[in-house]
Amino acid sequence: MKFPIVAAAVFWCASGKPLETVKLGATGPTGNVKDNMAHTSEHAKKLTGDGLAQQVMDMMTHPVKALPGKTSDGGIGLTQQISAIMAESQQKLAKAQRVHDKMVKKMKKRVSQEFADEAQTIGATLSSFAKELKRSEAELWNVINASKVELAQDEERSDKLQGEEAWETPGSDERAKLYAQIEAAESALTRQKHSDARAVSEVEETVGSAMEDAAQSLSMKVGDLAETSAMAERSIHHLVKAVKVPVLSHSTAPNSVKQAEGFLKAARKTSKDDIKAATKKVNAAIDTESKDIAAQAKAVQVDVDAASKKIIETHLGGPHK
């Protein structure tokens, strides 16, 4: 069998062009024959793995041995067998693709479930945080109201003793101080409510960013996860929004203006301490959850790569490189 026919058949299979379009020289394909053989082998290897590449090289090196069913001119049999090998390779590739698609679908479902589970866990954490902030606000508000009641009662008692027309009544200085404390506490409470709302929103954004990063890193492996991430974020937001202001029992009523002033001062300090502790707690929890999200995403990537490698080895007859 003449080498030009072998080379032409190999180039035909590698290029996908009709056999007659492959140009041959007087004694072989145009260019260096060995280079063409090496190029064809590498191309076949990339397409179908080492198995097909080795078969093609065997045919080119030992055509008679490799092709017992060749025709009298030694060329048509080679072309037919290479075509058969390529057809078989395409069938294997199609099957591998179906198996791979099924695996990717399964992995995407796994990611969706993990995101949903994380949303519930994080939602519970943020809800607890929001509840602590609202409880702190409610407790301070109770003390403010109790102070207002004591201030009004003290003024009433003083008026009864001195008369409403008196220019100055006993305890007026203490009442003025308490009044100033009440106004300051109310302003502080208003600022606290705005600050608390921002704190909850910022934590939600932190979690949302972690989920979006994980979704983006996995999109190249299992497809678009933007909606999956968005659904998880909405779930968290709804859980936080569902938190209501807790109903608290009335705080201990002060029995004097001086005591009311002390209660109010203590309540403001307690509120600050509670917010600080709750913020520290939620930040630690969210840091852990964010790391868990990243770790789960990494685990999925590793599992997808391992499954893809196994599919190639099983269905394409060669190691994944």
Q: What is the pLDDT of residues 154-167, one digit of tens each?
A: 888 877 766 555 55
At 163 the pLDDT is 57
Contact 46, 314 (CB under 8 A): no
SS3 24: strand
Structure tokens at 304: 């997808």
Give the torsion sign (CA, 158, 159, 163, 169): positive
DSSP letter assigned to residue 249: P
Inter-residue contact 231 to 312 (CB < 8 Å)? no
Specify the pLDDT at position 33: 38
Residue 37 to residues 34, 58, 59, 96, Cα–Cα distance (Å): 5, 11, 11, 28
Contacts of 74 (CB under 8 A, 6+ apart): 1, 2, 5, 63, 64
Query: Which pLDDT belongs to residue 160?
Result: 72
Token duo for residue 225: 């996860």
Provide the phi-psi class of 107: left if phi over 0, else alpha when psi is between -120 and 50, else beta: alpha
3-state secondary structure of 29: strand
Helices (H), the chain: 3-15, 33-48, 50-61, 63-66, 76-162, 172-222, 226-241, 257-315
Predicted pLDDT at 162: 66
List of the chain residues with pLDDT < 50: 1-50, 52-53, 56, 60-61, 63-72, 74, 320-321
Contact 137, 192 (CB under 8 A): yes
Residue 230: what pLDDT?
95
pLDDT of residue 279: 96
Say what the pLDDT of residue 43 is: 43
- Looking at this protein, which amino acid is placed at residue 100? H
pLDDT at 118: 95
pTM of the shown model: 0.68
d(CA 125, CA 287): 12
Query: What φ, ψ does residue 224 adopt, rounded to 5°?
Result: -60, 130
| pLDDT score recorded for residue 144 | 95
* Sequence-distant (≥ 6) Cβ neighbours of residue 152 within 8 angstroms: none
